[in-house]
Amino acid sequence: MMRKNVLIIGASGDIGFSIAERLANEGYQLILHYNKNRSRMEQLANLLPEESILAIVQADLTKKEEMNRLLGDLVYEVHNLVFAAGVAHYGLFHESTEEVMDHMLSIHVTAPWVITKGILPEMIQRQSGNIVCISSIWGTFGASFEVLYSTVKGAQNSFIRALAKEVGQSGISVNGVSPGFINTKMNGHLSTEETEAMLSHIAEDRPGRPEEIAHVVQFLLSDQTTYIQGEVIRVDGGWM
């Protein structure tokens, strides 16, 4: 029987928000994480059925002590873990500061490590669980001016594939979703010309919608996908 509690890391972001909506509509009970965007989290809480929210937790994922506090504050079992937190960084690699490098590593690599490490023992004991990371096509192809983002998303892809091999026999599924060009605030900096250039590479000739990513996450958490393991599923509209 499918277990329904889901911890969503980064629930206040556009994709995390849509994942929370989708899963609540499917009867999941949610533990929602955010960092700074309290108003967005309040908006989400007001939108979802009250009974679908188990807890709302705040933590800065650039600080290990706050990651550990998040884990220590968990009262409910976590049957499913979704990493939807992410930040982009645009600029020449050789002009990137070490502070920015550390920031990107903490959010995209260290936080998934620390949080997964804290939750895995109970999943292994129950012999069940699902872990899903929202990655990016840049983690596969790389992008100029986004070397840091491409690097940490590539690390997430390796984490997914390697951990899946380690915990598959314990009844735990580990997979990823790799979005292409999605209509989110992260892409809000693009000019009209840059957007048109991006769309010229996409067969669908449009940006994706956050809810289209949420649909795939819900699919991966369902009982019908138990033989999907260590996959990073591209959702990119036919990126060429």
Question: Which one from 34, 76, 149, 227 is the annotated catalytic residue?
Answer: 149
The secondary structure of residue 219, as a DSSP letter, is: H
Is 227 considered catalytic here? no
Tokens at 13, concatenated: 């972001």
User: Which residues face 132 on adjacent strands?
Assistant: 82, 175
What's the token pair of residue 138?
């840049």
Residue indicated by tokens 């809000």: 188
Report, as residue numbers or ranges, the catalytic residues. 149
